[in-house]
């Protein structure tokens, strides 16, 4: 019987083949060869954390990248399979306030939600976050909105009281008195209670585009003040969108 005819020959050959193939596979796993491309690792980092990746380098069997995102600069370490090993902040960015929307932008947002005439838009930065106060005249009433100056979100809406039972001078009487100062269309009427009987504020616009707010006492009917509306008074604040 020849050497190749031995009963143990073919099992031995099969065993050797399995051993060789297995050795090659193990060597590939431990040789540090790239199993995931740099592009894939960069995509995984951005997908997980957002921001932008720069300076992605390979060091031994690991990848090290710089990640820039709101809040700071980070160092991200990943293995050759793209698994994130660690993320460390390198530089923290100081908090920066987002830009304030312009009055024109706020007016466009409000016009989609409310019908009526926007009387005035005033920016206030006294609170924790900047706010716009917006007055809208609708059906002879005044609606005051509080609007987030950064996002344009309407935070609060209040309709001002326009009359009161205890006032001796009623709303229509007050309007008649106010029109002795300026005859025209009533934009809005509000009533403010005070210790001495309260008063009406009535805004009137004439046919020649003059506007005035007339203050009428709620008890005596006396005209307390006349404030002429300056069309340019909203231009005092300079805002960026």
Tell me what the mean pLDDT of segment 196-222 comes to. Answer: 93
- Domain end marker among 128, 160, 192: 160
Residue 127 falls inside a structural domain: yes
Handedness of CA 32, 33, 36, 39 (dihedral sign): positive
> What pLDDT shows up at residue 33?
46
Does 176 lie in the same domain as 135? no
What total number of domains does the chain contain? 3
Indicate the DSSP class of residue 15.
H
Does 53 lie in the same domain as 134? no
Q: Looking at the chain, which runs of residues are DSSP E strands?
A: 52-59, 62-69, 72-79, 84-92, 117-124, 131-138, 141-148, 154-159, 185-192, 199-205, 211-217, 223-228
Q: What is the pLDDT of residues 33-74, one digit of tens each?
A: 446 788 888 888 888 778 888 888 888 888 898 988 777 888
- Domain end marker among 38, 71, 92: 92
- How many CB atoms lie under 10 A from the CB of residue 137? 19
Between the alpha carbon of residue 58 and those of residues 43, 48, 63, 65, 221, the distances in Å are 16, 20, 4, 9, 84
CA-CA distance, 235 to 241, in Å (whole number)? 15
| HSE of 50, CA atoms in CB hemisphere, 13 A | 4
The verdict on pTM exceeding 0.85 is no
Tell me what the mean pLDDT of segment 217-238 comes to. Answer: 74
Choose between 93 and 160: higher pLDDT: 160
Give the domain range for residue 137.
103-160
- Give the containing element (helix H, strand E) for 178: helix 171-178
Residue 97 falls inside a structural domain: no
Residue 199 falls inside a structural domain: yes
Strand pairing partners for 73?
Answer: 68, 91
**Cα end-to-end distance, the chain, whole Å:** 95
> What pLDDT shows up at residue 84?
82
Strand pairing partners for 189?
Answer: 202
CA-CA distance, 60 to 80, in Å (whole number)? 9
- Give the containing element (helix H, strand E) for 140: none
> What pLDDT shows up at residue 103?
92
In the chain, the percentage of residues whose pLDDT exceeds 90 is 35
């Amino acid at each position: 019987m020849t050497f190749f005819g031995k009963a143990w020959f073919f099992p031995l050959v099969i065993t050797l083949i399995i051993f060789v193939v297995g050795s090659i596979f193990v060597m590939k796993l431990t040789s540090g060869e790239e199993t995931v491309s740099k592009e894939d690792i960069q995509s995984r980092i951005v997908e997980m954390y957002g921001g932008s990746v720069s300076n992605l380098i390979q060091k031994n069997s690991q990848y090290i990248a710089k990640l820039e995102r709101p809040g700071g600069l980070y160092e991200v370490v990943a293995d050759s399979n793209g698994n994130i090993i660690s993320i460390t902040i390198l530089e923290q960015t100081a908090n920066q306030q987002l830009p304030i929307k312009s009055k024109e932008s706020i007016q466009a947002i409000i016009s989609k939600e409310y019908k009526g005439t926007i009387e005035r838009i005033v920016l206030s930065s006294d609170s924790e976050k900047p706010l716009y106060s917006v007055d809208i005249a609708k059906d002879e009433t005044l609606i005051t909105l509080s609007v987030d100056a950064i996002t344009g979100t309407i935070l609060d809406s209040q309709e001002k009281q326009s009359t009161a039972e205890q006032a001796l001078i009623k709303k229509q009487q007050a309007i008649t008195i106010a029109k002795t100062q300026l005859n025209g269309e009533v934009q809005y009427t509000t009533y403010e209670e005070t210790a001495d009987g309260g008063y009406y504020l009535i805004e009137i616009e004439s046919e020649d585009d003059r506007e005035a707010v007339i203050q009428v006492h709620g008890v005596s009917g006396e005209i307390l003040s006349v404030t002429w509306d300056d069309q340019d008074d909203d231009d005092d604040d300079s805002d960026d969108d």
